[in-house]
Structure formats: C-alpha cells, structure tokens
Structure 1
C-alpha cells in the first residue's frame, strides 16, 4: 500500500506502466464536475470510476481485495478513513468473484485518514476498507483508477 498527496505522484509513476496514465488522468481531468461513472483511460487496462457516496460507520464496512487490478483511490472532496491490512492476515468471508474482481474478508487492520488530494494505491496483496466515516457520516467524491496487474 502507498498513500500520499497527488502533488507527489511523480515519485510513484514509474512503479507500474499504468500508474503514469492513472496519475495523468487524476491531475488533468475535471474531477469535481465529471458525472459519476466509468471513464476509459487505456481500454480495459486502465480505467477510472468516479464515485459519490456518504461515508459509513466502521461496522458497515468490509475488507476487500482484488486479483486482476491495482486500485489507485483518489479523494477529490471530503474526508474518509481507509483501512489497510495484509491480505494473508485476514479470513475470506465470501469466495472470489471473478466478474467483480472482488474477494470479501474479515479481520483487523489499520486505518489512515484520507482528505481531498490524497491518493492510496492498493496492490492485490493489500486488503482495504474504504469509505469509513471520520466522526459523523459525510459526503465524499472519489475516483478509483483500476490498473491491470502486469
């Protein structure tokens, strides 16, 4: 897992061929005004999902991980807590769903606070629990760029 501010993304762009495309999209697209939905960047290899939601209480969250894609999660506006745990430290609660590229897990992890301008990168070995409220539930606009594992 990586977490940093978008203004420092150039330090990470060379870690994966799709990261430069992801960070370029996050830096140049009008993220505050784009409609929620999917935006292709490099076909099915790199694409963005613009999301608007209200953060939830910890008890409503769940741990997730992906096998085919790396998540680059960027908070456009709002604040949320994002959980992180090594995949092998959690217990699978539902089998891997290949269509959704999603496995659901249970266990304990650590949390970081993500504010506007923060990005977090989650590799397949990084379980994560996004969208958790910091205090009262509040609105968040987030862009999740999916980068295919090479």
Structure 2
C-alpha cells in the first residue's frame, strides 16, 4: 500500500502507464462538478467510482481485498480513517465474489491511517483495507476510487 498526496503523484508513474492515466484523471478533473457514479477512463482497465457518504464507526465493518483491480482511493473533500493489514494467512469471512471483485475479512485492522482532502491511498491485492471510518465524529466525504486492472497490458 502507498499513502501520499496528489501533488506527489509523479513519484508513482513508474508503476506503469495505467497509474499515469489514473493520476492524470485525478489531477485534471474538477470533482466539484462530477456527480456520484462510475466513469470510464480506459475501458475496463481503468475506471473511476465517485462516491459521497458520511463516515461511520468500525462497528460491524470488515476489511476487504480485491484480485482483479488495484484501488487508488482519493479524498476530494472531508477526512476518514482507513484500517489496514497485509493479506497473509487470513481466512475470508465472505468468500471471493468474482463478479464484484472483493472478499471480506473479519479480523481487526493492524493499523489505521488518516486520509484528508488531497490525499490518496493505493491498495494492491495483498493489502486488506477498511475505508470510510470516522476520525472523531461522522463527517461527509467525497471520494474517488480508481480501479486499475491487475491484468497485464496488451
């Protein structure tokens, strides 16, 4: 996993052309004018999901991971905690759903990171994560999750 600010995005261009496209989309889009929804960036290889919600407590929440896509989670406005752990010998509490590309894990995160406006986190398939968690009290958040395919580019 990687946590940084969007102004440092160029440091991660070495991860590949899909990351360059994802970061360029984040840098060039005025999200104050973008409604909630799914937006294609490069077919099914790269797409964005714009969401708005109030942060929640950890009670009843579980960590998730993906196999087909890497998450780039960018905070447009607000702040939240994201719980983390590394996928090792964890056993899923909800088996992998290939269509939705996720599985859930009931263990408690090993650590939490606070993401604020202008920050992003990258979660690879080996990174368990629990997003949308309140810092002190629930606050509204606008977040863009860019999904980057793990399939090799053609």
Question: TM-score when scaled to structure 2?
Answer: 0.94
Runs of 4 or more consecutive aligned structure 1 residues displaced over 4 Å after TM superposition: none
Matches within 5 A, 1:41-56: 41-56=41-56
Matches within 5 A, 1:23-42: 23-42=23-42
Separation in structure 2 between the aligned mates of residue 79 and residue 60 of structure 1, nearest angstrom: 20
* Residue in structure 1 matched with residue 58 of structure 2 by the alignment: 58
1:93-135 superposed Cα distances (whole Å, 9 cap, x missing partner): 0110001000011213210000000000000000100000001
1:72 matched to 2:72? The reply is yes
Instruction: Tell me if the contact between 2:123 and 2:129 (Cα under 8 Å) persists in the aligned partners.
Output: yes
Matches within 5 A, 1:1-150: 1-108=1-108, 109-149=110-150, 150=152
Q: Which runs of 5+ in 1 are unaligned?
A: none
Report deviation, 1:32: 2.0
1:4-46 superposed Cα distances (whole Å, 9 cap, x missing partner): 0000000001213210000000000111220100110000000
Separation in structure 2 between the aligned mates of residue 13 and residue 61 of structure 1, nearest angstrom: 33
Separation in structure 2 between the aligned mates of residue 70 and residue 144 of structure 1, nearest angstrom: 10
Separation in structure 1 between the aligned mates of residue 42 and residue 51 of structure 2, nearest angstrom: 19
Report deviation, 1:87: 1.2
Separation in structure 2 between the aligned mates of residue 89 and residue 119 of structure 1, nearest angstrom: 27
Instruction: Tell me if the contact between 1:61 and 1:132 (Cα under 8 Å) persists in the aligned partners.
Output: no
Q: Which runs of 5+ in 2 are unaligned?
A: none
Separation in structure 1 between the aligned mates of residue 31 and residue 147 of structure 2, nearest angstrom: 16
Number of corresponding residues: 150
Question: TM-score when scaled to structure 1?
Answer: 0.97
